[in-house]
Structure 1
């Protein structure tokens, strides 16, 4: 069995975190590997084991806390862990509690991990085009500020997501984003457009005045060996798809 694999961000060096790939899990079939999503029609026992393995690879013994993601601009504060069957509907989590891992699952959307080391405040956000356009980044930063973080001290990393070359969209989406965001659309074939999701999310982070931003150059659509992809599964006519998890935590006090 392969070991669990994770991408790490330089801007988050020293903070327990990881953008997990699909490598190293126990799921089988179409979601073979480290599927950490509850909605993938996977064996619940396999998902639980995969989530345990992912958590142990980042911060062993920590409680993994996640939300029921709905492509919203809602961020929630984690004061105490909650059970998986009572996850609130939201698309970002923030905390200042040690011993907790914040988890976001994705399959083409952009996972964003954030930390203010000095304040001891962390965040994790799920940024698809809907959430990013409606304000999930700004909501996450504001929720971190409410816990004592400073915007200029926050480091943020945009993890593996669908790349611009793989993300063809229609004119209606381009028009929805307005003139200010046209730089993130390039002309594609047959009157279609290629959307730079990672670049757009990074720009929203910069506009929120966070101190540093890093974009990991990983295309979930093209790299089938390492990543799950909703759009790839759709194009292949597959009935389900897995989700990779991105985690960030604060180690317990010694």
Structure 2
């Protein structure tokens, strides 16, 4: 199983990683470590993949699998419809699934609380990052954030309406868009997330270099493939 470990100065009791598509039993467009049970893959394969993940990471509990809806709800201790989750003690494994959208992992410098966030452009615009930062309940200067694999700025093409929506809320968002043929735009979801975090007062931000769209060997990409699997980004506090 190939995992990506955040390169950030988190306390030792904070454990975090993002999966790749390598190391599971799924086949076809889901090959091989698909962790999404909502994308059409064989449920038995998904279950085996999730078991392998738990064993590989020696997780203290089943990951907090969410039903992600591109909203701003933040879950705690139990799943349901939400696009972020938080934990304030060992025993909860905050988890989000992605295949182009941006996963963010957050912790405080003291290592007492963690969060995982799923942010596509709709969630970013709606304020899912702000909702998670607020729920963590510590000064923004005390937070560390890692940006996991997402669709890169050379591949994420959007319409004028997306650019306008972000610029209406923050004029600085213009720096996150480059012209693309046909009157469309290339959006930098990493830059948009950094702008949102900065507005919250969070400046200790790491990661943001990996593109799911351009690396088919390691990552699922919905924009590239349509029918595909899902990676997971997990963060928890060690017991």
TM-score range normalised by the length of the shorter chain: over 0.9
Q: CA RMSD in A?
A: 1.6
C-alpha displacement at 1:134, in angstroms? Answer: 0.5
Where does residue 84 of structure 2 map in the other structure? 92
Does the 8 Å contact 1:158/1:198 carry over to 2? yes
Q: C-alpha deviations, 1:28-66, integer Å up to 9, x for none? A: 111001111111111212212222322333343433112
Where does residue 167 of structure 1 map in the other structure? 156
Q: Which runs of 5+ in 2 are unaligned?
A: none
Does the 8 Å contact 1:35/1:244 carry over to 2? yes
C-alpha displacement at 1:211, in angstroms? Answer: 4.9
Does the 8 Å contact 2:64/2:94 carry over to 1? yes
Structure 2 counterpart SS, 1:97: coil
- The answer to whether residue 73 in structure 2 is matched with residue 74 in structure 1 is yes
Q: Which runs of 5+ in 1 are unaligned?
A: 235-239
1:1-254 map, 5 Å: 3-12=1-10, 14=12, 15-78=14-77, 82=78, 87-118=79-110, 120-145=112-137, 149-178=138-167, 179-234=171-226, 240-252=227-239
TM-score (norm 1): 0.87
In 2, the alpha carbon distance for the partners of 1:57 and 1:113 equals 19
TM-score (norm 2): 0.92
C-alpha displacement at 1:4, in angstroms? Answer: 3.5
Where does residue 237 of structure 1 map in the other structure? none
In 2, the alpha carbon distance for the partners of 1:208 and 1:226 equals 32
C-alpha displacement at 1:143, in angstroms? Answer: 0.6
Does the 8 Å contact 2:73/2:84 carry over to 1? yes
